[in-house]
Structure 1
């Protein structure tokens, strides 16, 4: 008889190789249990195929639950909500309503249009969360990589939620995983046209929108991240937030890198880092 841990030992290297190559995350979803959650797929929050979201809610739930809107990464040029079912299932299994939102990508749009999509998805969630068992008074926005940038801008720059008749003060907090918060001058050739480089506006950077009015933050990064410098981005943003007396928590993990940080939310890779535990604790047990 082949033991489950033997299969896991074989599967993990394969998963890591796939993730490192930015392959579809089908394997993680296939190995992530969904029995504790219920998914409502393809709900429109605006016009067009890229303005849709999937809602994962706890299957067994009494009362309302906190809500997390999650934006995936992909350098603003790739990604799909279905690839991140493992995030929605994991959060729902911890008693959280999770909303995984698509947003328009380059070359269909460039900065700042994907931020308008992100804000629209958050505003839709604030309005509609009660229909799915969510508590709009316990609303969080979360993202990984480019998605963490989107989350940061929605939380820190009031322009985007203001267009939706909302304010960042409506957020209980926000969560950034390996986010690029200060990346000028742009070095990545794929990112340059997304942000109109070399004419990238300075106010496109989250670090320029820190104020005392910012919602609390949980910032998570991989110490060995070679794509997004954790010191310049996560560390510096935390310093700026604290200087404004904004509550901020930092977590740095040793066994993950840029992509495997978000992958560690999936059941097969949770041994890599306590990402899910830290996120769930932050949402379910917010500091007083």
Structure 2
């Protein structure tokens, strides 16, 4: 019996989901997702120091043969600024590399070792290192994007919108080609997340800590993706509110919402076994392609 294409896709998603569930029973969710995500020919270079300190290291994922002018994405993971490590997000690096993108995934210092705004200095330092060294790994520094999920999307937003952080590294936000936020908190005062309160010294959190308060000079195109069913970061206030304010300033914003994912499975949908949940990787790939600048190889 011939199975229609739609039915085949549904069966694939169900089978992949069952495999993930089985793996989750034996190990942590991110470990399982990485184990089930093929390398797809990605070349990994690990443990590169971008600063002084154990947490100031990054991993690079690149296609086996990056095309001239290959775009570069620096990805910051989430975790309430108090947890996470770059190895858990190998599936993100592999996914981006499978689309011809050179991916950089840094660690950054976490609470209680540091508080706001120290991890933003780390994020900017990782981006500056990438801008200055990624050509040696097949990436085009003129085609540099920052991206993050959850707390990592906050980091990406602040690096892209608030010129103080890259300014300390001798760069400006217009050095970037664009930025991408997945389920990011961009407007979260007063803070209700108990884990985030000590990170931002609530209730004495400064207004300048909020990405929505750094839009006056914004010019970078943005891709903002959120889950309609996000119960941790309000998508209407954060993603919708930021998109509205950016557009009011003439900034090109692509705004996308998905029904089939949650706050956490949104980033999980980048992994090969879970891509049937939402076309997140397709949206990122298209955005990067649409905003890639001419490279030096092409005459820039």
The match for 1:49 is 54
Runs of 4+, deviation exceeding 4 Å: 3-7, 14-19
Task: Report matched runs for 1:206-285 at 5 Å.
Answer: 206-285=211-290
Is structure 2 residue 112 aligned with structure 1 residue 104?
A: no
Is structure 2 residue 26 aligned with structure 1 residue 8?
A: no
**Unpaired runs of 5+ in structure 1?**
none
Q: After TM superposition, give the deviation of residue 212 of structure 1 in Å.
A: 4.1
Distance in 1 (alpha carbons) for counterparts of 2:200 and 2:29: 25
Q: After TM superposition, give the deviation of residue 36 of structure 1 in Å.
A: 1.8
Distance in 1 (alpha carbons) for counterparts of 2:155 and 2:74: 11
Is structure 2 residue 206 aligned with structure 1 residue 198?
A: no
Q: After TM superposition, give the deviation of residue 10 of structure 1 in Å.
A: 2.1
Secondary structure in 1 aligned to 2:146?
strand
The match for 1:59 is 64
Secondary structure in 2 aligned to 1:195?
coil
Structure exhibiting the larger radius of gyration computed from Cα positions: 2
Q: After TM superposition, give the deviation of residue 129 of structure 1 in Å.
A: 1.0
Is structure 2 residue 44 aligned with structure 1 residue 36?
A: no
**Unpaired runs of 5+ in structure 2?**
1-10, 294-300
- So what's the TM-score if we normalise by structure 1? 0.94
The match for 1:121 is 126
- How many residues in Structure 1 have an aligned counterpart in Structure 2? 283
The match for 1:74 is 79
* 8 A Cα contact 2:86 2:107, kept in partner: yes
Q: After TM superposition, give the deviation of residue 89 of structure 1 in Å.
A: 0.4
Secondary structure in 2 aligned to 1:87?
helix
Q: After TM superposition, give the deviation of residue 5 of structure 1 in Å.
A: 7.3
Secondary structure in 1 aligned to 2:143?
strand
Describe the superposition over 1:18-59 as per-residue Cα deviations: whole angstroms up to 9, x where unpaired.
99xxx4501111111103210000100001110000000101
Bigger shift: residues 54-63 or 192-201: 54-63
Assess, with a 3 A threshold, how the Cα gap between structure 1 residues 223 and 4 changes in structure 2: closer, same or farther. closer
Distance in 1 (alpha carbons) for counterparts of 2:108 and 2:167: 18
